[in-house]
């Protein structure tokens, strides 16, 4: 084919050479630091972010169809809460107050429920001032949704429906390849935390369910201060990494769950579950504690833990307790980590591969000024090809 060009217009300058086409850009540091090059050179990177958008759109569509109102709550909070994590601190000059970047939107979304918005959701960033790993970025995206007049069992069913459909919308089916495993999102297996400890106990001599409820047995197998914390500790060490297929783990110890409602038949446990897949926690849900007096006691328990040196213990949130005093209906609430879910549905093993611009250590001087000056110093005839070719 021959093109008879009558005019040629340059749209933009390109001053640095692009990565090679055949191998693409493989250096992971460059891929993260200069994501624009990664997107240009590696089509599969672009595809990951297209899929990420489909995942979020699917969740939005499904929640909207069920009557959830999408809202936005503060990212800058005078009191941080809703999770156990160290926060980032910033300062507002005019008000002269320190504010925390939120570690979770939970307490505001439940204030919303108190106000009569019975179904509400939020998809946005949380910030946690903690380690960076293949599963942790300091800012990450969380879907949280709250539904009045349901409980954690209702949320188990809802979670199953949401995840099955989001897998279909993102990948075309419910079977997803991840790290050598085929994950089946058509159903969620349900196990109690104690059942999981028993099932994945490493020795042939498995503990009985009575053992796993026995404070002495728990104390023997963990150095944590309370039976509940010990159970959580043992579960994480024994079972968590084996939870490859999407699984619901339920019945959590009350010590680990200051915002969850206690089980009717066992006050040591709360009506809470987490969703695991590929050995990762991707969701967390519970029947919300809606008794203001009990909530105040739980916060006080957290304050004691803080005084004993637990940096991640919950702060007292007086206004939240005040809100509960106006009555929060029985409510179920859930959070799903969008980044980790995207990892699973796109086959990426690092959270950095599903966050467009992940957090990295500062790069230091780039030294581009000299390069640009050198290019400018070149003779105009070489640097600027003729424009306006006549055919």
Partner RNA sequence: GACUCGGUAGCUCAGCCGGUAGAGCAUCUGACUUUUAAUCAGAGGGUCGCGGGUUCGAGCCCCGCCCGAGUCACCA
Would you tell me which residues interact with RNA (CB under 7 A)?
16-30, 32, 83-85, 128, 130-131, 133-136, 232-233, 236-237, 241, 256-259, 312, 349-350, 352, 360-364
Sign of the Cα torsion 222, 228, 229, 232 reads positive
Which residue, 79 or 85, has its beta carbon nearer to RNA? 85
Closest approach, Cβ 73 to RNA, in A, equals 18
Which residue, 58 or 137, has its beta carbon nearer to RNA? 137
Which residue, 27 or 319, has its beta carbon nearer to RNA? 27
Closest approach, Cβ 150 to RNA, in A, equals 20
Closest approach, Cβ 362 to RNA, in A, equals 7
Which residue, 110 or 128, has its beta carbon nearer to RNA? 128
Question: Half-sphere exposure of 356 toward its Cβ, with a 13 Å CA cutoff?
Answer: 10
What are the beta bridge partners of residue 251? none
Which residue, 58 or 302, has its beta carbon nearer to RNA? 302
> What radius of gyration, in Å, describes the C-alpha atoms of the chain?
26
Closest approach, Cβ 309 to RNA, in A, equals 11
Closest approach, Cβ 361 to RNA, in A, equals 3
Which residue, 13 or 23, has its beta carbon nearer to RNA? 23
Closest approach, Cβ 64 to RNA, in A, equals 28
């Amino acid at each position: 084919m021959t093109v008879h060009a009558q005019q040629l217009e340059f749209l933009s300058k390109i001053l640095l050479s692009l990565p090679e086409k055949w191998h693409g850009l493989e250096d992971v540091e460059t891929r993260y630091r200069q994501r624009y090059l990664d997107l240009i050179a590696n089509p599969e990177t672009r595809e990951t972010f297209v899929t990420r958008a489909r995942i979020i759109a699917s969740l939005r569509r499904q929640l909207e169809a069920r009557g959830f109102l999408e809202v936005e709550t503060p990212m800058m909070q005078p009191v941080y809460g809703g999770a156990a994590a160290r926060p980032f601190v910033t300062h507002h000059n005019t008000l002269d107050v320190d504010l925390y970047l939120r570690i979770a939107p939970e307490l505001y979304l439940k204030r919303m429920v108190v106000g009569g918005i019975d179904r509400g959701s939020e998809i946005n960033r949380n910030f946690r001032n903690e380690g960076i790993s293949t599963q942790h970025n300091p800012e990450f995206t969380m879907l949280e949704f709250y539904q009045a007049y349901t409980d954690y069992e209702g949320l188990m069913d809802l979670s199953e429906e949401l995840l099955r459909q989001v897998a279909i919308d993102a990948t075309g089916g419910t079977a997803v390849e991840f790290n050598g495993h085929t994950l089946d999102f058509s159903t969620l297996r349900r196990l109690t935390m104690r059942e999981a400890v028993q099932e994945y106990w490493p020795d042939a001599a498995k503990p009985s369910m009575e053992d796993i409820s026995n404070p002495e047995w728990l104390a023997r197998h963990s150095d944590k201060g309370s039976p509940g914390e010990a159970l959580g500790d043992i579960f994480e060490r024994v079972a968590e990494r084996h939870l490859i297929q999407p699984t619901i783990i339920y019945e959590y110890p009350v010590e680990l769950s200051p915002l969850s409602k206690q089980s009717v038949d066992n006050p040591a446990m709360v009506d809470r579950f987490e969703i695991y897949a590929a050995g990762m926690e991707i969701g967390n849900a519970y029947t919300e504690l809606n008794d203001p007096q009990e909530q105040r006691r739980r916060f006080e328990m957290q304050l004691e833990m803080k005084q004993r040196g637990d940096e991640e213990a919950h702060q007292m949130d007086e206004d939240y307790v005040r809100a509960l005093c106006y009555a929060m209906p029985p409510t179920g609430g859930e959070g799903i980590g969008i980044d980790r879910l995207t990892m699973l549905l796109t086959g990426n093993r690092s959270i950095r591969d599903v966050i467009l611009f992940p957090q990295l250590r500062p790069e230091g001087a780039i030294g581009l000024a000299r390069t640009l000056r050198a290019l400018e110093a070149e003779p105009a005839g070489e640097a600027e090809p003729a424009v306006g070719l006549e055919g």
